[in-house]
Amino acid sequence: MKFEVLILGTGSATPAYGRHPSAQIVNFNEELFLVDCGEGTQMQLSRFGIRSGRINHVFISHLHGDHYFGLPGLLSSMHLNGRKNDLHVYGHPGLKEVLDLQFKYSETQLKYNLVFRPTSPDNPETILQMPRMRVLSFPLHHRVPCTGFRFDETLRASKHPATRSYAYCSDTRAFSGYMDAIRNVDLLYHESTFLHEMVGRAAETLHSTALEAAQVADRAGAKKLLLGHYSARYKDPEPLLREARTVFRESELAVEGKAFGVMDVFFNGQLTVDN
């Protein structure tokens, strides 16, 4: 059963070197979950051949523009394309207000039902339970309320004992508060905005360095780490990868258009496998 993460954007606050802002598709058994929706995400979807009509759940980590400015455009296109299915959107309560205002002044009456589920900036909570998948939101530590998301495969008790999990942490200062929520994930995406020589700037802006992301992965017992949210100061993100690997060997760079499989350690005898 497919469980993979397709990267749509790897940049941070401002556009740089052709990188798009944060967005990714979690594909679980062909059910598509959109995680963050930076500006231009619908262009990235079309670039990588993903019909937006296949997305039924959208998770927004926080209300900095590089994580959601693409959402009004995507929601409008779904409307114009005649979408009928409910769309479930998860995010800070303020997101509903922002979207309502946008639709109010564009005099848009969505043709589909937008089901908004606020996330809690204070407590971890299960926000979605499907027959084979459970999604948890959990607080991160950023300049504005921000939540991470954890996707857990859930199998019927009598079946194969292995289940796979993926956690998404962006944006955040590395700290111990979310360690329980990401414990033992097979794949951890963790922002790595800066090299550790910029740790002062990371602390100021409540972001993380590549070294800190690697320490988090190590302490949490993650099997594999995916770095992203690269600062505009880095044309080439390779030094971020080299830095992370000094602490956590199983680190990889998120690359736009690349899909990363979420593989359980017991699933096929391998730690993790890239597609």
Q: Does 64 bind Zn ion (CB under 5 A)?
A: yes
Q: Does 92 bind Zn ion (CB under 5 A)?
A: no
**Segment near Zn ion (CB under 5 A), from 29-37, 63-71, 90-98, 125-133?**
63-71
Q: What is the CA angle 29-151-214, rounded to 5?
A: 120
Closer by beta carbon to Zn ion, 11 or else 237:
11
Our measurement of the distance from residue 178's CA atom to the centroid of its chain's CA atoms, rounded to an integer in Å, reads 15
Q: Does 171 bind Zn ion (CB under 5 A)?
A: yes
Strand segments (E) across the chain: 3-9, 23-28, 31-37, 55-59, 87-91, 114-118, 125-129, 133-139, 147-153, 165-169, 187-191, 224-228, 251-253, 259-261
**Segment near Zn ion (CB under 5 A), from 61-69, 90-98, 132-140, 155-163?**
61-69
In angstroms, the CA 166 to CA 144 distance is 23
Closer by beta carbon to Zn ion, 65 or else 257:
65
From the candidates 66, 171, 186, 264, give the one annotated as an active-site residue: 66
Do 18 and 262 meet the contact criterion of CB atoms below 8 Å apart?
Answer: no
Do 184 and 222 meet the contact criterion of CB atoms below 8 Å apart?
Answer: yes
66 is catalytic: yes
> At closest approach, how far in Å is the CB of 85 from Zn ion?
30
Site string for Zn ion, 230-259 (x = CB under 5 A): ------------------------------
For Zn ion, the binding residues (CB under 5 A) are 64, 171
What are the catalytic residues? 66
